[in-house]
Amino acid sequence: MLRYLKIYAILMRNSLIREMSFKANFLLWTLVEVLWFSGQVLFIEVLFGHVDKLGDWTKWQVVALVGTHQVVAQLFQAFFYVNLTQIPELVRTGKLDVFLTLPLDSQFAVSSKQFGLDNFVNTVLGLAITGYALLRLGVTPGALQVLLYCCCVLFGVAVHYSVMCSLSTFCFWIIRAQGLVYGYFNLFNIGRYPESVYRGAFKFMFTWVLPVILVANVPVRILTEVAYTPWAAIGQLVGTSLLVLGFTRWFWLRGLGRYASASS
């Protein structure tokens, strides 16, 4: 375990050096995120220009939701996103061989090659928006809430990781799997809205099987519903995220079993 941590530290350092040599690009990526965020806020403004509540959520609760969604998504993207999107290409070209010969777990090796510094900046932005929303709501969460919030955010990152890793792992069966990468964005798109607007099979699917709706909803409920802690929802998030994480591991090993490299 310690060995993996040391390796991870070295990989991070390398990424940092690489990122800093493209400063303009770094700033532009941050701008992209700020624009996206402004667009989201515009949408919320439009929605709440017409209603007082969405489901049972008020405007600033929804803003906190968008902010927290940003935190989870950006943390995931900082550590894993780029690496996971490269898997289909590694498999297609046979470059995955290099990762398999390393004295490391293969899934760890492909998931951790580089990380995105700009995503950390955007994580902070998400936290700031969430904080501002709480201020407007007039809620002050206690230490327990903050702690639970952080834990749930990490479980959320695990859900993001599982979904993206599983989508990429499909490339062992379908060689041109780029279309699946869009699936990631489409899936998590729905997590920015209050759970209570969803109903029926759709809600069941995305809260119990593939818990993408819980990822931001549960942490925000912890922060904004200070009167009581939503233990059931937390349990649901933890349980389902462990399940999808386990599935991803199993699926990765299955996929790897099919890998035949590419002749060179």
Q: How far is the CB of 92 from other proteins (least distance, A)?
A: 12
Q: Which residue in 3, 258, 10, 247 sits closest to 115, CA to CA?
A: 10
Q: In terms of Cα–Cα distance, which of 199, 61, 221, 252 is closest to 153?
A: 221
| Residue 174 CB, nearest approach to other proteins (Å) | 6
Q: Which is nearer to other proteins, 198 or 252 (CB)?
A: 198
User: Residue 54 or 78: which CB sits closer to other proteins?
Assistant: 54
Q: Residue 7 CB, nearest distance to other proteins (Å)?
A: 28
In angstroms, give the least distance from the CB of 119 to other proteins. Answer: 14
- Dist. CA 172–CA 19, nearest whole Å: 30
How many Å apart are CA 192 and CA 73, to the nearest integer?
11
Q: Which is nearer to other proteins, 3 or 23 (CB)?
A: 23
145 or 168: CB nearest other proteins: 168
**Phi, psi at 57, each rounded to 5°:** -105, 140
Nearer to other proteins, 27 or 150 (CB): 27
Those residues whose C-beta lies under 8 Å from the C-beta of residue 130, and which sit 6 or more positions away, are: 64, 67, 68, 71, 220, 223
**Shortest Å, Cβ 190 to other proteins:** 4
Whose Cβ is closer to other proteins: residue 144's or residue 174's? 174
Note the residues at the interface with other proteins (CB under 8 A): 22, 25, 28-29, 31-32, 35-36, 39, 42-43, 46-47, 49-55, 174, 176-180, 182-183, 186-187, 189-190, 193, 197-199, 202
Q: Are 196 and 233 in contact (CB under 8 A)?
A: no
CB of 156 to other proteins, least distance (A): 18
First-to-last C-alpha distance (Å) of the chain: 35
The answer to whether 2 and 103 have CB atoms below 8 angstroms apart is no
